[in-house]
Structure 1
Amino acid sequence: MPDFDVVSLPETDYVAAGEIAPEFTRPLVNEEYWEDRALSDVVDGPTLLLFHPMDGAFQGTYLYNTVDDHGWSDDVDVLGVSVSTPYSHKRLLADRGDGVRIFSDPSASVIEEYGLAHDIDGMTGVTESRPAVFLLDADRTVEYAWVANEHPAFPDAEAIDDAVTDLVD
């Protein structure tokens, strides 16, 4: 029995497979620096776009450990999105997420546009992203989508492996 409650999240209208991933511009962080970048400027081939809660949440840690374990950044560009600051992203990337860059979205406007925002229980006005994975082709068409419908929830790594293999082969 887990030491935490599993909470069902409300249904949401998120970006689905076959749709074009919405454009946005936010600070994009790597291990060394960050700069404002548009999604369309950095998607030039198969891209795994990962949304996660704040960097300190175990879901983000688990997600980037999974990225490292499966070597996804060797096959596709891996980009994250969360409400955390660029400083927090740099600390996260120092420990995990080899080859990953993360967009900082503290206003949660990108997260809201993708249909992934939810309020943190007991914290009025504090919004974060539910975990989500989108595999994009070079034209930003969503080829694979997974969005958490409960908290905590984690994507099926083997399904992502299969989707990446199908797109890059």
Structure 2
Amino acid sequence: MVDFEVLSLPEATHPEVGDTAPDFTRPLVNGEYWEDTALSTVTDAGPTLLVFHPMDGSFPTTYIWNEIDDRGFASDVQLVGVSISSPYEHGALLEERADGARLFSDPAAEIAEQYGIENPLDGMTGVREHRPAVFLLDESRTVHYAWAADEWPAFPEYDAVEAAIDERVGR
């Protein structure tokens, strides 16, 4: 049994259902290369599940992407992740998991701040990362599902995410 303390996180001020998710441009990594890409370019291609996660290699990130892979979300929506990890680290993550996903690199956690989901790391002055969060967006970046962790660690309610995807894609 893993022994760790569950920590409460400060209140998140993330976009809610009906809001327009902020646009941003960052390096977007796929299995072969990366290039600066706007979120709006991704959402233009169809419904998008935007998954914020801690740094690559952490146990929450591994757990989140394993569950998303097991549920096959990438077959129904554009699937993109965001974390502080570099494009090189994202490449390694994509080799191991996150099937069908692409990953935005946000090393300064500016997107986390923009979305109101930054997580200052205890004992590490000035270091922050993304708290786990999930947003289902349509082509105009309107939020159709929103969840953000309020404690550490916490994980999305995957059944609720799946139901939102099913509703959005008409299943």
Regarding TM over 0.5, the answer is: yes
CA distance in 2, matches of 1:118, 1:158: 25
Give the TM-score taking structure 2 as reference length. Answer: 0.97
Pairing of 1:59-70 with structure 2 (within 5 A): 59-70=60-71
- For the 8 Å contact 2:84–2:109, the answer to whether it is kept is yes
- For the 8 Å contact 2:12–2:148, the answer to whether it is kept is no
Give the TM-score taking structure 1 as reference length. Answer: 0.98
Pairing of 1:3-82 with structure 2 (within 5 A): 3-44=3-44, 45-82=46-83
Pairing of 1:66-145 with structure 2 (within 5 A): 66-145=67-146
List runs of 5+ in structure 1 lacking aligned partners.
none
**Segment drifting more, 55-64 vs 25-34:** 55-64
Which amino acid in 2 is paired with 1:121? D
CA distance in 2, matches of 1:55, 1:156: 21
CA distance in 1, matches of 2:146, 2:5: 25
Q: Percent identity?
A: 59
Runs of at least 4 residues of structure 1 off by over 4 A?
none
Pairing of 1:152-167 with structure 2 (within 5 A): 152-167=153-168
Q: Could you say what secondary structure the match of 1:84 adopts?
A: coil
Pairs aligned (count): 169
Which amino acid in 2 is paired with 1:77? Q
Structure 1 position 2, deviation (Å): 5.2
CA distance in 2, matches of 1:5, 1:46: 36
List runs of 5+ in structure 2 lacking aligned partners.
none
- For the 8 Å contact 2:42–2:48, the answer to whether it is kept is no
CA distance in 1, matches of 2:148, 2:3: 23
CA distance in 1, matches of 2:35, 2:143: 25
Q: Could you say what secondary structure the match of 2:74 adopts?
A: helix
Cα shift readout 1:116-146 (whole Å, capped 9, x = no counterpart)? 1021111111110110000001111000001
